[in-house]
Amino acid sequence: MEENDKQMEKEMEKEEKKTIGENMQNVLKPQFLLGVIAFLAVAVIVLIVMLVQQPSAKTMQGQAVATVNGEPIMQDQLFDAMYAQGGREALDQLITRQLIFQLAESEGIAVSEDELEEEIRSIVDESFQGDQEQFEMVLEQYGISFDAFKEDARLNLLVRKVAMDNIDTSDEEARRFFEEHSYMFGQEEEVEARHILVESEAEADEVVALLGEGEDFAALAEEYSTDLSNKDDGGYLGFFGRGMMVDEFEEAAFSLEIGETSAPVETSFGFHIIEVLDKSEAEEVAYEDVRAEVEELMVEQNITTVINEVVQSLHEEAEIEFLLEQ
């Protein structure tokens, strides 16, 4: 019975750790999640190095870390096993981090404390609704100190600055990018709508009849709609542009006038009754009005490729000696 209790305890602990990890992935910005993962990998190699290099009267490799029925498992065996299971990858990440820091220093690229504080504050605001305590609690549950997270934040900001120095955001390139991606700027034609989704045409006809008798659309959506994502909000879909809905739905929604309700519209999801609440016309914008947004998008679209190229070049040019290789 006691063994079963212990087993259940271990399973619960494993599930709790899994949940914490999933929550971390849900709340952190992708670029900071990458930093956190890198930090955890680095922690593994640091642990390995500590195990091997910790000062002692005896060489650490000659010490036993466990015994099994009296037979020892030596510390160098532990090191070999840990290194084989991820140590080299963690070491490569440490090297890459060091190369980026060295490059930033040589080119005079730095991150000020104000920039760092602002970036961390934005993480807390966007991912934790401004709750500093929740942010710190997640870091603690994930085994990451605030100082370590701060260094990862600094690294990510440095990476972005390095990328900015290697991405051509001149006015000529920005104008060319704007012309090629003009659809991403300005205001496209949009429709604000709500819908009721049912499984059969007979049900759809019934809902249409009830609406014709003056029944409330939101109340019918809550009662009849199978779209669980919005039925409790009266079937409200908000504003959407072309290309966001399936073709049949889009064609019907954009053809309706404000305040008009559709006949049943069949799609692969079932039968929809759509009501258009509002519309906004497409508006073009001038390049000069969105210059900053153009540059930001240029960086976002190119940053991964550029950083990969920079890192590869740094590795090729650096003198790296692997002292841990067997």
Mean pLDDT across 98-123: 88
pLDDT band, residue 166 (cuts 50/70/90): confident
Mean pLDDT across 108-133: 88
Task: CATH 3.10.50.40 in the chain: give the residue spans.
Answer: 190-280
Mean pLDDT across 25-46: 39
pLDDT band, residue 300 (cuts 50/70/90): confident
Most confident segment among 21-25, 53-57, 66-70, 272-276: 272-276
Most confident segment among 2-6, 198-202, 239-243, 288-292: 198-202
pLDDT band, residue 27 (cuts 50/70/90): very low
pLDDT (0 to 100) of residue 62? 65
- Between residues 264 and 100, which one has the greater pLDDT? 264
Say whether pLDDT at 277 is over 90. yes
pLDDT (0 to 100) of residue 2? 47
Say whether pLDDT at 122 is over 70. yes
Say whether pLDDT at 28 is over 70. no
Say whether pLDDT at 131 is over 80. yes
- Helical packing angle, 201-212 and 217-224, nearest 10°: 160
Say whether pLDDT at 54 is over 60. no
**At residue 10, what is the residue type?**
K
pLDDT band, residue 107 (cuts 50/70/90): confident
Mean pLDDT across 268-273: 96
Checking 44-47 for CB contacts under 8 A at 24+ apart, the result is 44/82, 44/86, 44/87, 44/90, 45/87, 45/90, 45/91, 45/94, 47/82
- Whose CA is closest to 261, among 321, 209, 300? 209
CATH 3.40.50.720 fits 190-280, yes or no: no
pTM value? 0.48
Say whether pLDDT at 318 is over 70. yes
pLDDT (0 to 100) of residue 83? 67
Q: Where are the alpha helices (DSSP H) in the chain?
A: 2-27, 30-53, 75-82, 88-106, 113-127, 132-141, 146-166, 171-180, 201-212, 217-224, 247-255, 291-317
The pLDDT tens digits of the residues spanning 209-237 come to 999 999 999 999 999 999 999 999 999 99
pLDDT (0 to 100) of residue 11? 52
pLDDT band, residue 37 (cuts 50/70/90): very low
